[in-house]
Amino acid sequence: MNETIKLLKNRRTHRNFDENYELPEEELQLIVDAARQAPSWMNGQFYSIFVIRDLETRRQLVEWNPGNPHMLDSSVFLIFTGDLARTRQVSEEYGVENHTGESVEPVLIATTDAALAMENAVIAADSLGLGSVVVGSIRRHSREISELLGLPEGMFPLFGLSIGKPIVEMTVKPRLPEEAVVHYEKFLPYSYLVIEEYDQIMEKFGEARETKKWSQKFADYFAAEPALISDQVLRISRLLK
């Protein structure tokens, strides 16, 4: 197994960091450079990355999102935004209309581009012996964060990434069985027993922060999802106008 595959297969999420560790500038630059080299739709690169080191800014983020104190304790916090503002500048330069705020497609493109860039950052951090954790819940405060960062119209927060020196050794988390995720040529139905077996695997794994079975967690989450989706779409649409 080559080193890249080994790194990918052993990726773990870290939430506990050495508060006193200072990430060298050259390593931060390597992570940012790796993120920027991620693939994107038509090479459009519809995202922007905000490097947040200021402690007051990070304290404010934790105040809004107290379940993620690592945003302050880590060496650096990156915020990945969808960026449709840049293409609006291009449209203005060419004197043509820009309809990015009238369809969900540009939002999907920007979100995908940002996610690919963030994953590159995750793997780059791992390769440097660092740890990271993705924070999707910053979207609950997208308007406040937009104001905090001074985001222009057409730019919207998607997710954050805490990066630092881990102080707690984490175990590689089991994933769903391949038959539930990977399909060759056509969709192949699988028994719900696969999900039940995974529930048992995760219960044995015994992650302390989990209080429900894997399946129950998502059954409960998506039972309330329609309102959450409509709220989130509304937030993004307001940021695009």
* Residue 144 CB neighbours (<10 A): 14
Q: Which of 100, 90, 138, 146 is nearest to 118 (CA)?
A: 138
Strand partners, 166: 17
The pLDDT of residue 241: 56
Q: What is the pLDDT of residues 64-81, one digit of tens each?
A: 999 999 999 999 999 999
> For residue 126, what are the CA distances in angstroms to 121, 164, 203?
9, 10, 27
Residue 160: which of 70, 86, 234 has the closest Cα?
A: 70
User: Which CATH architecture is the domain 3-172 placed in?
Assistant: 3-Layer(aba) Sandwich (3.40)
- Return the bridge partners of 182, or none: none
45: left (phi over 0), alpha (psi -120 to 50) or beta: left
Chain segment 126-179, per-residue pLDDT in tens = 999 999 999 999 999 999 999 999 999 999 999 999 999 999 999 999 999 999
Q: Where are the domains of the chain?
A: 3-172
- pTM of the full structure: 0.91
Which residues make Cβ contacts (< 8 Å) with residue 9, sequence separation at least 6?
1, 172
* pLDDT (tens digit per residue) in 85-140: 999 999 999 999 999 988 899 999 999 999 999 999 999 999 999 999 999 999 99
Pair of tokens at residue 156: 């919207």
DSSP label at 23?
Answer: P
Task: Give whole-number Cα distances, 236 to 43, 97, 136, 142, 208, in Å.
Answer: 23, 20, 14, 8, 34
Burial class (CB in 10 A: 0-12, 13-18, 19+), 17: buried
